[in-house]
Structure 1
Amino acid sequence: MATSDVKPKSISRAKKWSEEIENLYRFQQAGYRDEIEYKQVKQVAMVDRWPETGYVKKLQRRDNTFYYYNKQRECEDKEVHKVKIYAY
């Protein structure tokens, strides 16, 4: 790992759904903490998003397969508490 890698200082769990939680859910499903880690690992400047909602549209996993997401909310209420929020 490069010394430029940003490490989170703390972690908490999501309590209620929001657009931010929706996107974190998508990054975490694909195997990343969040957008910061995804951009570091994949060396990409932009993440593919739905223009209508701003939600993440497509992510490349560490094994180079792709996850494709819907325009609509995918993180159900029962999944919200699984989402980790990292503070830097």
Structure 2
Amino acid sequence: MAKVQVLGTGCAKCGYLLKNAQVAANERQAGDVVEKLDDMLQVHEFNPSALPALAIDGKVVTVGTLPSPSEIRQLIEQSQEVEE
């Protein structure tokens, strides 16, 4: 199970990234949690170089891009492999 966080300001790109993250989590059927962080104080704690950003288990994995659901699924799976 992974914690996937979409970091952004609430713009259209952030919404698109959130949808893709939710699709990726649903496809994995591993109980992944997806949440949107748009409180800039919380976002700043991650120190992303651009927005929107995607964090998995507290680590920023993409910035300023809009990965597809399959790309996000791969990122989640890679982060899970590192933890094992």
Whether the TM-score (by the shorter chain) exceeds 0.5 is no
TM-score, scaled relative to structure 1: 0.30
Q: Which structure is higher in RCO with an 8 Å CA cutoff and minimum separation 6? A: 1
The structure carrying a bigger helix percent of its residues is 2
